[in-house]
Amino acid sequence: MASSLANRVVAYLVVSQFVAFATGWIVTIILGFAGVGAFEAFGRTADELASARMIQLVVASLVRDDEGSLRIDPIPELRDEERRVPSLKIAVFDAGRSQAISGSSPELIAALAGVIKISPTHTHFVLPGDPTLSPRGLVEPVRTPFGRLHAAVYSPKFVLSDLFYAILADFRRLAGFFVVTALISAGAALFAVRRGLTPLRAIADEAARMDMDMLHRRLPVGEVPAEITPLVDGINIALERLAAGAARTRRYTANAAHELRTPIAILRARLDNLEELPVKGALLSDASRLQAIVEQLLVAARLTERQVGLDQEVDLVTSVREVVFLYLRLAIECDRMIEFEACAPRAVTRGNRRAIEAVVANLIDNALRAEPSGGVVVVHIGPGATVAVIDHGEGVALAEREMIFEPFWRKSEATPGTGLGLAIAKELMENMRGKIGVEETPGGGATFKLIFPETADVPEALRLPPRTS
């Protein structure tokens, strides 16, 4: 499954914002630490950065004695710091009880005893008597295995790793802010990206609607973003090449069909004038099939080139009756009959008369070939402007009812014909916004049905009543 472009862009935006924010934050701390101009307000002295690491060591040194009282029992790392920095002072307070934990520095207890009562949050301070102006101490609430306490450190000394501890401590304090900001940023980015991709979706919808009959159209570029314009231009250029190639093919087909019409008509006339021969019926049938296919090719090419219209008002009863009359002599020559039925005097639809007659002619020609000798092919004009051509031959297997409309499809190599007639018929019906289908004739055989546009009660028209002998 293809990944979502919108989700990828949003993910990249959120990650890039997080990286930019974190990088800017770290750079600001470093520049403030270095005392650079406008960043001094964000700066901390090197020793202040050591406070975060020292408070972690103090919390790690808390233990509960046998009597259940808390005390500070310095871990080895804290003892190393006390040896390295003799002036280091530490303390832990229980703000709820307003008392210091055993092991706390007396100086810090004396200075902070009153302050702890108000539960200070991240407070920097200087002990009385210390001549320095920069804060050297920090007291803040901490979460410990023994509950929420206040830890204080004074006069720690900076080591390089303190920079990492300081950043980590700040991140822990701002973790909630980061999460909320990331979620809001992702939502805003997703909304913006989806809105930004609206023109792309519109182009995709337009492209999805295109088919071989719409190669003259081009994808619009008026409101397409500049980043997508090369893609749309490339598709339009490809459509131009496809349209040019299809036009050449259609012109060739139309010219070939036009050239074939005359010799086939002459052949048909000469066959009609022949004396009765055993093969006359077969020759007439072959000539009729050639004539039907050529007519369909010519009509399809002209429809595609828009040389003829599709908005003609056509009376199916009149047009189909004429086609039946033309094929009646062929049916007699082949020892068959054609029966014409219409449930109403008129059945009007809109389309192209020559295209409709070409499709019906093809279906009648196929039905005459499938109908057993001495049988009757029925052409029925049903309600809702539908046409059914019914034979009583072998029929069409259920698995083949879609494949028979594919170009060049034949049941086997021994099957006569080119496999073009029904494919062209389907194309003509689709051009006229109609449908063509096949089902089984009650009692055996195939019933081909044509459903034309603006037909009332199409589902009912698909079901002809069973015929009685």
Phi, psi of 71 (to 5 degrees): -155, 165
User: DSSP of 384-420, one letter per residue?
Assistant: TTEEEEE--SS---GGGTTGGGSTT--SSTTS-S-S-
Centre a 10 Å sphere on the Cβ of residue 370 and count the other Cβ atoms it contains. 18
More confident residue, 273 or 61: 61
The pLDDT-based confidence of 438 (bands split at 50, 70, 90) is very high
Task: Quote the percentage of the chain above a pLDDT of 70.
Answer: 70
Average pLDDT of span 237-247: 75
Helix H or strand E encompassing 212: none
Tokens at 194, concatenated = 């989806």
Tokens of 145: 């295995």
Percent of the chain with pLDDT over 90: 21
Tell me, what DSSP letter sits at residue 379? E
Residue 44 pLDDT: 52
Instruction: Please name the residue that has the structure tokens 């009562």.
Output: 117
In order of their start, the domains of the chain are 5-187 (no CATH), 215-307 (1.10.287), 309-469 (3.30.565.10)
Q: Lowest-confidence range among 41-55, 296-310, 382-396, 432-446?
A: 296-310
pLDDT at 466: 43
**106-135 pLDDT, tens per residue?**
999 988 988 888 888 888 888 888 887 777
Rounded CA-CA distance 57/54 in Å is 5
Comparing 85-99, 109-123, 236-250, 391-405, the range with the smallest average pLDDT is 236-250
Beta-carbon-side half-sphere exposure of residue 428 (alpha carbons within 13 Å): 31
Read off the pLDDT band of 339 (50, 70, 90).
Answer: very high
Q: pLDDT value at position 36? A: 59
Q: What is the pTM of this model?
A: 0.45
Instruction: State the pLDDT at residue 185.
Output: 77
Strands 386-390 and 348-351: unpaired
pLDDT at 449 over 70: yes
**Given this model, what pLDDT does residue 403 score?**
86
Query: Which whole number is the average pLDDT over 299-311?
Result: 65
What does the pLDDT read at residue 457?
A: 36
Question: Over the stretch 171-211, which tens digit does the pLDDT of each residue have?
Answer: 666 667 767 777 787 777 777 777 777 777 777 777 777 76
| pLDDT of res. 39 | 43
- List strand residue ranges (DSSP E) for 52-205, in order: 62-64, 70-72, 89-94, 99-100, 123-125, 137-144, 147-154
Kindly report, residue by residue over 10-60, the tens digit of the pLDDT. Answer: 777 777 777 777 777 677 766 665 655 544 444 456 677 788 888 889 999
